[in-house]
Amino acid sequence: MTNEFQVVFHNIEQTDAIAGAVQKRIQKLERYCDEIIAGRVVLDSPHNNHHKGKVYSVGLEIHTPFKEVRVNQEQHDNHAHEDLYVAIRDAFNAAERQLKSIDKKHRITPPHKGGSNFSNQAA
């Protein structure tokens, strides 16, 4: 399915390395879930605390025919998110878990045919 992802950088310098990391995670989601219609990734560094350093936040919106998945990895006290790549990983992992949950709910199981072959076979 053709889908469009918009990647937005707020208060963060856009580099090829960061854009590449985001694109790699988007491609992984697309391989897992072919029902994705569109999405938006917002990378932000809203907090510049001199004592703690920058803490990054990553927001995701993923649109499927069944549901809209939203992830906001804004964890002010999580020192792991002082690394943008860790924040990206955590956000996409959370989105993947939500997509798996949606996939399980909407997976169509084939109906059972009347009777089994064992009951139809007489010894």
Per-residue pLDDT at 35:
84
By residue range, what is the domain housing residue 60? Answer: 4-104
On whether the CB atoms of residues 83 and 55 are closer than 8 A, the answer is no
Distance CA 2, CA 10 (A): 26
Domain contains 117: no
On whether the CB atoms of residues 103 and 33 are closer than 8 A, the answer is yes
- Give me the CATH number covering residue 99: 3.30.160.100
Domain contains 113: no
Mapping DSSP to helix (H, G, I), strand (E, B) and coil, where does residue 60 land? strand
Per-residue pLDDT at 1:
45
Domain contains 83: yes
Per-residue pLDDT at 107:
60
pTM of the predicted model as reported, rounded to 2 decimal places: 0.74
Per-residue pLDDT at 89:
94
First to last CA, the chain: 51
Q: pLDDT in tens for each of the 123 residues of the chain? A: 456 899 999 999 999 999 999 999 999 998 888 889 999 999 998 755 555 578 889 999 999 888 899 998 665 556 667 889 999 999 999 999 988 877 666 565 555 555 555 555 554
DSSP characters for 58-80? EEEEEE-SS-EEEEEE--TT-GG
Domain contains 114: no
Per-residue pLDDT at 74:
64
Domain count, the chain: 1
